[in-house]
Structure 1
Amino acid sequence: MKFLLMSMLVLTMTSAHAAITPTELVVKVKAGKAVPNFGADSKVQNLFGNIYIVRNNDVSVLEKQLKNNPNIEYTERNSRAEKSPLPMPVASPLDVEKSFKAVNLFNDPKVDKIWSFNDADKNGVSVNAAYQLHGTSATSTVIVAVVDTGIDYTHEDLKDVVWVNEGEIPGNGIDDDGNGYVDDVNGINTLVRDSQGRATGNNKDTHSHGTHVSGTIGAKQNNGIGIAGIASNVKIIGIKTVPNSSDETDIDVAESFIYAAKNGAKIINCSFGKGQNEGKNLIPDTLKYIQDKYGVLVIAAAGNDTSDIDKYPTYPASHKSDNLLIIASTTKTGALSSFSNYGKVNVDVAAPGSDVFSTTPGNRYASMSGTSMASPTTTGVAAEILSHYPNLSPLQLKQVIMDSVNTDYRYKDKMITGGRIDLLKGLELARSIK
C-alpha cells in the first residue's frame, strides 16, 4: 500500500465565521493625511508606507473612533479561522525507490529519488537536462524566502544555503542592525512576539513542512550528502508564520512578505492557504508594494481540496495581484494530482507535487504530497532561471515560467497555461528577453 502525506497546510477552512483576534488592527492612512493619535495604551508598528498595525487590549474602541475619520482609508481586524492539525511526514515506497539517473551531474546520494528532475517526456521539469546544457558557473545568488512553519537551519543539507543576517550578533538580545527585530540571524518568527509586539528571531521548524519545502528549492548540491535542490545558487530566509495547526493571519503574512523583501528576497514561496479571506485589502496592498518597491515574485500553492478556485476561492492564491503565480500539482504519471485545486482563471501552471522527496528536520528525508510541494518545485525553477538572468523583473520571470510550459490535454481548462513548468525551456526563453 502506498502511503501519502497530504499537506494539510493548503486546505479550505470551513467555519462560517472567523474568530476575531481583538487586539490587533490594520489601519491604512490616506495618502498625504496626518496619522491619527492611536492612544497611549497602543503599540504602533508602521508595517510599510501608510499602513500601520495597532495593538492594544481592545481594538474595537479604536476601530469605532476611526470609522468616520476622514484621514483613514480602511481598517481591518486581524482574524483567525478554524484551526486544523497538521500531519507529520510518513514513509512511502518512494523513499527507497530510484526515479531517475542523474548522469553524474550530482554526487548527492539520494538525488535520484527526486522524480521531478526527469525530462519533460517523463513528466518532470527537465532539471537534469537543463544542468547538462547550461551548467551553473555564471549564476548569481538569489535570495528566496520560505514563509512557512520555519526551517531546520542546522540540517546537513540546508545549513550551507540558509540566509544569514550579517548585521546581527547571535543570541545577545540586541537589535544590532536596527531593523526592529532582535536576534533575527536567519529570519523571524511572527508567531511569537515580544512585549513590544515585535516578531522574534527563533524560526526553528517544529513541524517539518517548511524544512521539506526548503529542501526542494535549494538543498545544497554536490556536497556528497542527501539530496540536491532544484536551484543551484540560493540563500533561503526561513520565516515562521504558519502555526503547526495552520491558520496563519493576514498581519503575520504581510509582515513576513515585507521582512523578506527588505532583506533582498526576490522570490517568496507560500505553501499555505485557507478558504476565508478575513481581510480584503492588506495582502493585496502588500503584494503590490513588494512588487513595485522591491521587485518580488510570490509563488503560491493552489490548495488541496480538488476544487475549482474560480468558484471556491482560497487565499492567498485567489488574490488578484500581477506578481502572484499560482501552482497546481501533478503526479509522476503526469496527471493532475487527485487532491489538487484548479481554475481556468486563477491557477497559472502545474508542477510536480505528489510524492516529492526532500529534507525533514533532524537530518532526515521523506516524501510529502500536496500543492505545498508543487509550489517550491516552481520556486526552485524560478530561482534557477533568475540566477542565470538576474535582471528579469518579477513580471518577466512569471511570464517566462508561464510561456515555457509543456502543455498537456489533461490540464485543459484547469489552468491558464494548461501546462507543466520546464526549467530547460524556461532558461532558453529567458535568454531571449532583453
Structure 2
Amino acid sequence: MKFLLLSTLVLSLSSLQAAVTPTELVVKVRAGKTLPDFGSQSKVQNLFGNVYVIRNNDVSVLEKQLKNHPNVEYTERNYRAEKSPLPTPVPAPRPPEENKSMNAPQFNDPQVGKVWSFADASQNGVSVNAAYKIHGTSATETITVAVVDTGIDTNHEDLKDVLWKNEGEIPGNGIDDDGNGYIDDVYGINTLVRDSQGRATGNNKDTHSHGTHVSGTIGAKQNNGIGIAGIASNVKIMGIRTVPNNSDETDVDVAESFIYAAKNGAKIINCSFGKRSNEGGNLIPETLKYIQDNYGVLVIAAAGNDSSDIDRTPTYPASHKSDNLLIVASTSNSGGMSYFSNYGKVGVDVAAPGSSIYSTTPGNRYESMSGTSMASPTTAGVAAEVLSHYPNLTPVQLKQVLMDSVTKVERFKDKMVAGGRIDLLKALELARTIK
C-alpha cells in the first residue's frame, strides 16, 4: 500500500540538478527602459510589468548579450523540475466506520459519505457538515479558483456545471475572440502545448487524473444527486494545464498560469505540485507579489511528500517567501500528520486532510488519492467557501483567518506555524469579525 499512497505531483527527486529549457529566456527590463531589439528570429512575450520571456532556437547567445546590457535588470534561464512518473489513483475503500456518523442531510450526493474530510473537527475533519448546517449557502458570491495542474476533464458529470468559462471566446473557431492573447481558451489554457507564435493553447484536457481529482475536492457540484460534493458551494473552477504527466513543470509556465488566472478573475490559485530545486530565481516570487498587489489573489500550495522539514530542505514553490502564499501539510483520518507529509515550523502554515481523499477522476469516475496534493485543495475549498461569504477579505486577511481558526493539535505545534488543522466552521465565524 505504501507505493499507492503518494498519488501526488509533489514527489521526491533523486537528483537536485536542474535542467533548463534551451529555447526560453526570462528578461526583466529596468524601470523606464525598453526591451532591446532582438530581430525577427526571437518571439517576445510580456508576462507582466517589465518581465518578458524570449523564445529562440537557442537563447544562450542572447543571454550573453543581455547580461550586461544597460536596459536589463536581470536574465534567468527557464528551469524545469526533474521528470518523474506520476502514480495512478487507487479505487476507494468501502466507507470507513466514521462516515456512518457524518450525518450530512444537506447533501443529496450519493457518495459524499466517502469524503471523510467533511466530518467535524472532533472526528479529524474540517467541519464542512457543521458549517453548512449553521451558515448555509445563501447570499454568497461566486469565487473563481484556478487549478494549476495536469488539466481537467471538462465533461465530468460532477464538474461540468462548476467550470469557469471564458464567455468572450467562441469555441473552436481558431480566433482570439476576446483579444487576450490566447486562442479558444474557453475553460483555461495549456502552457505545455504552444502554437507557432509561442502562445499557450486552449485545450486543457486532463490526460492524467490529478487535476480532475484536485478540482472535485474543491468544488464538485453539490446536491445534483450525482457522485460527491466539493467543499465550496459557490465556485467556478478554472483548469490550467501546466504540469506534465511526468511532473516536470517549468518556472515560465507556472508564472504564465498565475498571471492568466489572476487576469481572468481567479481569487484563489491551487498548486499541488513542486520541486526540490530552486535556482535563486526571481520569476516566481515576483509573480506572486504582482498578482497580490494587482489582483488580490491567494495562492495555496502543497508542502511536499518527502517526510522532511522544509525549513532545512526547501521545496518550491512552497519555500518561496510571500505574504499571499499559504503552505499546507497533510493529515490522515486518525488525526495525525500523514506519514509522507513535509512539515516546517517556519515554512508550513497549516495542515488539512490529504490521506485517502475520495474525489473525481476522468471519465465520470471517482477514486482515492493521497498526498499534500490533496491537502492543498481541501484548504482551497475551505478558502473559497469563506471568501464567498466574505468577498471583501484581502488575500492576506483570508490567509490569516485560515491560520487563526485552525483546530489546534498539540503534536503539530512544532511542525507548522498555526499548529493545527483548518476548520471551515471556525473560519467562517472568525471571518465575520474582520472589518
Give the TM-score range, shorter chain: over 0.9
Indicate the residue corresponding to 1:47 in structure 2. 47
Name the residue aligned to 1:38: 38
CA distance in 2 between partners of 1:340 and 1:296 (Å):
26
CA deviation map 1:178-236 (0-9, x unaligned): 00000000000000000000000000100000000000000000000000000000000
Match of 2:385 in 1: 384
In structure 2, what is the equivalent of residue 103 of structure 1?
104
Q: Which amino acid aligns with 1:152?
A: D
Pairwise CA distance, 1:21: 1.1
**What are the equivalent positions in structure 2 for 1:155-170 lying under 5 Å apart?**
155-170=156-171
Could you say which residue in structure 2 is the equivalent of 1:374?
A: 375
Q: Give the deviation of 1:96 after TM superposition.
A: 7.7
The DSSP-based 3-state class of the residue aligned with 1:172 is coil
Give how far 1:11 is off.
1.8
Aligned equivalents of 2:12, 2:96: Cα separation in 1 = 32
Q: Using a 3 Å threshold, how does the CA distance of structure 1 residues 417 and 94 change in structure 2: closer, same or farther?
A: farther
**Which residue of structure 2 lines up, in the alignment, with residue 418 of structure 1?**
419
Name the SS of the counterpart of 2:254 in structure 1.
helix
- Distance between the aligned counterparts of 2:372 and 2:95, measured in 1? 19
Q: Which whole-Å CA distance do the structure 1 matches of 2:97 and 2:207 have between them?
A: 28
Equivalent residue number for residue 11 of structure 1: 11
Take 1:177 and 1:269, find their aligned partners in 2: how far apart are those partners?
25
Distance in 1 separating the partners of 2:79 and 2:104: 50
Q: For residues 309-358 of structure 1, what are the alpha-carbon distances to aligned partners after superposition, in whole Å with 9 as ceiling and x for unaligned?
A: 00000000000111000000000011000000000000000000001000
Equivalent residue, structure 2, for 1:406: 407
Partners of 1:97 and 1:351 in 2: CA distance: 20
Alignment correspondent of 2:257: 256
Note the 1:112-261 alignment, pairs <5 A. 112-261=113-262
Give a deviation string over 1:275-318, Cα, whole Å, max 9, x none.
01145100000000000000000000000000100000000000
Contact 1:98 1:113 in 2 (8 A): no
Query: Match of 2:141, as an amino acid?
Result: S
- Alignment partner, residue 85 of structure 1: 85
- Judged with a 3 Å threshold, the aligned counterparts in structure 2 of structure 1 residues 386 and 68 are, in CA distance, closer, same or farther, namely same
Distance in 1, matches of 2:394 and 2:82, equals 37
Q: What residue in structure 1 maps to residue 300 of structure 2?
A: 299
- Unaligned ranges ≥5, structure 2: none
Given that residues 4 and 87 in structure 2 are in contact (C-alpha distance below 8 angstroms), is that contact kept between their aligned partners in structure 1? no
What whole-Å deviation, never above 9, does each CA across 1:256-284 have from its counterpart, x for those lacking one? 00000000000000000010114510000
Residues 258-337 of structure 1 mapped to structure 2, 5 A cutoff: 258-278=259-279, 280-337=281-338
Q: Answer yes or no: is the 8 Å Cα contact 1:46–1:52 preserved in 2.
A: yes
Alignment-derived partner of residue 60 in structure 2:
60
Structure 1 residue 14: Cα displacement? 3.1
Structure 1 SS opposite 2:236 = strand
Contact kept? 1:15, 1:81, Cα under 8 Å? no
- Cα deviation for residue 12 of structure 1 reads 3.2
CA distance in 1, matches of 2:415, 2:97: 30
CA separation of 1:62/1:353 partners in 2, compared to 1, >3 Å: closer, same or farther?
A: same
Matched, 1:72 2:72: yes
TM superposition shift of 1:95: 6.0
What is the distance in 1 between the residues matched to 2:110 and 2:98? 10
Greater displacement, 419-428 / 88-97:
88-97
**Aligned counterparts of 2:307 and 2:426: Cα–Cα separation in 1:** 29
Q: Do the aligned partners of residues 307 and 378 (structure 1) sit closer, same or farther apart at CA in structure 2, a change above 3 Å counting?
A: same
| Matched residue SS, 1:367 | strand
Q: How far apart are the structure 2 equivalents of 1:11 and 1:139?
A: 36
Flag structure 1 segments of 5+ consecutive residues without an equivalent: none
What CA RMSD, in Å, does the superposition of the two structures yield over aligned residues?
Answer: 1.3
What code does the residue aligned with 1:20 have? Answer: V
Partner of 1:239, secondary structure, is: strand
| Counterpart contact for 2:8–2:374, Cα < 8 Å | no
SS at match of 1:145: strand
Kept in 2: contact 1:304–1:339 (CA 8 A):
yes
CA distance in 2: counterparts of 1:94 and 1:312, whole angstroms: 37
One-letter code aligned to 1:429 = L
What is the DSSP-based 3-state SS (H/G/I as helix, E as strand, rest coil) of the residue aligned with 1:147? Answer: strand
User: Does the 8 Å CA contact 1:331/1:353 hold for their aligned counterparts?
Assistant: yes
Q: Is the 8 A contact 2:206 2:241 kept in 1?
A: yes
In 2 relative to 1, CA 94–311 (structure 1 residues): closer, same or farther, beyond 3 Å? Answer: farther
Give the distance between the partners of 1:203 and 1:39, measured in 2 at CA.
Answer: 32
Query: What is the match of residue 23 of structure 1?
Result: 23
- The residue type paired with residue 175 of structure 2 is I
Distance 1:230 1:414, change over 3 A: same
CA distance in 1, matches of 2:386, 2:19: 41
Q: Give the structure-2-normalised TM-score.
A: 0.98
Q: Which amino acid aligns with 1:155?
A: H
1:34 positional shift: 2.0
Aligned length: 434
Structure 1 pair 206–195 and aligned structure 2 pair: CA distance change class (3 A): same
Distance 2:3 2:321 in 1: 36
Deviates more, 1:26-35 or 1:301-310: 26-35
Q: Does the 8 A contact of 2:156 with 2:363 survive in 1?
A: yes
In the alignment, the residues of structure 2 paired with residue 411 and residue 345 of structure 1 have an alpha-carbon distance, to the nearest angstrom, of 12
Distance change in 2, residues 1:429/1:96 (3 Å): closer
